[in-house]
């Protein structure tokens, strides 16, 4: 396994982050525990979750599954860089969501209880809260850090100017502020290259791409469709039809390189200078094993240029649309 510092922090994390969104939803607890054990055995020390995972009436279930795994001991908690998130409503009563000081306090304590731990390595804002001032947010986080309940703070789904706003407010308080940003980023979804990635690099944030295979569209979907192994429906099928020509070219190029399409998609992200660790979300141990192959895929300048030709990206703004 390869490791990198998370943004400008001294925290060392694996170049692949284990996403746990499927745990308790499509992956049962025993299988989830086996996946986490396998991740540790392969050197993955970085796990990402959120308080809302489990979804619907089962919100919080994913954190509980991880907590039960930690409770087995054997150094599981100590060897894990644990990231979770807050923002989404955990109930129907006021102040059970977003980033008020009250919800930060309550959501943090609830996550700690479910996770059976006394601290969170990386506590992330799952979305920007336009109704709460940064003075309030940072004051609440300073308390959490001072109590030893949180070590580092990250964001998710922020715009570039949100990152700048957050960091300016943190600097006024002599507080470290954000060390990471979790964004939708893959070969098919490159909007963050306009302003989010430049802002993250300027402010020293490590970028954690979610949905690196764009819901499976970059994972060899056409070949699997031909082999009868997968058939997309609804919106996913609409997206496939929209991008079919490019995906056909992409899968052919991956074959030309001698790699699986999903491995190339992950490797491409690992070649991007702002990216610390793509978030992989395996439903099975076999899917975890397959993701690890991307660490050994080397893409030269010619291959990267070919991928840019198939999936055009963006220059940083304003040069992307102006002189």
Catalytic site positions: 53
Residues in Cβ contact with 302 at an 8 Å cutoff, skipping those fewer than 6 apart: none
Is 36:23 a contact under the CB 8 Å cutoff?
no
Which candidate, 32, 40, 51, places its Cα nearest to that of 80?
A: 40
Which phi-psi region, left, alpha or beta, contains residue 2 (left: φ > 0; alpha: ψ -120 to 50)? Answer: beta
> Is the sign of the CA dihedral 125, 101, 109, 61 positive or negative?
negative
Is 90:110 a contact under the CB 8 Å cutoff?
yes
Cis status of the peptide bond prior to 318, with omega within 30 of 0: yes
CA 166-172-173 angle, 5° bins: 95
Which candidate, 181, 183, 187, places its Cα nearest to that of 268?
A: 187
Which phi-psi region, left, alpha or beta, contains residue 7 (left: φ > 0; alpha: ψ -120 to 50)? Answer: left
Enumerate the β-bridge partners of residue 155. Answer: 125, 181
Round to whole Å and give the CA distance between 50 and 19: 10
Which candidate, 195, 159, 192, 194, places its Cα nearest to that of 178?
A: 159
The three-class DSSP label of residue 307 is: helix
Round to whole Å and give the CA distance between 112 and 124: 14
Residues in Cβ contact with 230 at an 8 Å cutoff, skipping those fewer than 6 apart: 216, 221, 224
């Amino acid at each position: 396994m390869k490791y990198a510092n998370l943004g400008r922090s001294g925290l060392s994390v694996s170049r692949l982050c284990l996403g746990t969104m499927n745990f308790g939803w499509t992956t049962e607890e025993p299988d989830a525990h086996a996946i986490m054990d396998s991740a540790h055995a392969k050197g993955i020390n970085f796990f990402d979750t959120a308080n809302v995972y489990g979804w619907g009436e089962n919100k919080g279930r994913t954190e509980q599954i991880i907590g039960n795994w930690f409770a087995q001991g054997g150094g599981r908690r100590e060897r894990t860089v644990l990231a979770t998130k807050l923002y989404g409503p955990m109930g129907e009563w006021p102040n059970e969501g977003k980033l008020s000081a009250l919800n930060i306090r309550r959501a943090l304590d609830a996550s700690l209880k479910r996770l059976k731990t006394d601290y969170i390595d990386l506590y992330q804002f799952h979305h920007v809260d336009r109704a709460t001032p940064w003075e309030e947010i940072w004051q609440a986080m300073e308390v959490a850090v001072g109590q030893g309940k949180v070590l580092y703070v990250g964001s998710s789904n922020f715009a570039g100017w949100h990152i700048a706003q957050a960091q300016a407010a943190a600097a006024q308080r002599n507080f470290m502020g954000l060390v990471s940003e979790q964004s939708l980023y893959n070969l098919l979804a490159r909007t963050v290259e306009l302003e989010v990635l430049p802002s993250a690099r300027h402010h020293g944030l490590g970028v954690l791409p979610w949905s690196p295979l764009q819901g499976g569209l970059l994972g060899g979907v056409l070949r699997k469709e031909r082999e009868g192994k997968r058939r997309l429906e609804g919106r996913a099928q609409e997206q496939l039809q929209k991008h079919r020509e490019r995906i056909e070219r992409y899968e052919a190029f991956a074959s030309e390189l001698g790699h699986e399409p999903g491995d190339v998609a992950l490797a491409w992200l690992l070649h991007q200078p702002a990216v610390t660790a793509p978030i992989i979300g395996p439903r099975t141990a076999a899917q975890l094993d397959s993701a690890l192959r991307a660490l050994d895929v080397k893409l030269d300048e010619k291959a990267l240029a070919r991928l840019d030709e198939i999936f055009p990206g963006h220059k940083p703004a304003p040069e992307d649309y102006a002189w």
